[in-house]
Amino acid sequence: MNGWLLAAGMASLGVAAVHVIGGHRDVVRPLLSCGLTDEPKRVLHAVWHMVSADLALSGLALVLLSLRRDIPGTGLVAWLVAAHFLAYAAAFLVVTLSVSWPRPLLRLPQWILLLPVALLAAAGAA
């Protein structure tokens, strides 16, 4: 068993749960009730669901890879998941730091959840 990948997978599943529960309350409901026109509103709603699926499927893949050593390409898949979580974290950091909010790193703290998954998956891939 690869403990790093197991930790990354469980963390990703935790991030997915936070995304689905907290994101629905804090992002989706306000989005669907705002004055934005219907097409962009529905595209953003679909993208939110796509991210939900991505977080959950990444977590499941990492858990599976952690439990089975006989799967070819385990390291490559783990590196790709690490890279995409790093990209997600970087996107939140760039967007957060591009606005002039007080304490911006805590205003959009999603990067705090995404970065550990990237680091754990990278450790497990090495």
Reply yes or no on whether the pLDDT at 63 is more than 90. yes
| C-alpha distances out from residue 62 to 95, 101, 108, Å | 27, 35, 26
The Cα–Cα gap between 126 and 123 comes to 5
- pLDDT for res 15: 96
Question: Does the model's pTM come out above 0.85?
Answer: yes
Average pLDDT over residues 98-124: 92
Residue 94 to residue 90: CA distance in whole angstroms: 6
Domain interval for residue 90:
3-125
Question: Do residues 66 and 3 touch, judged by C-beta distance below 8 A?
Answer: yes
The count of domains in the chain is 1
Q: Is 18:113 a contact under the CB 8 Å cutoff?
A: yes
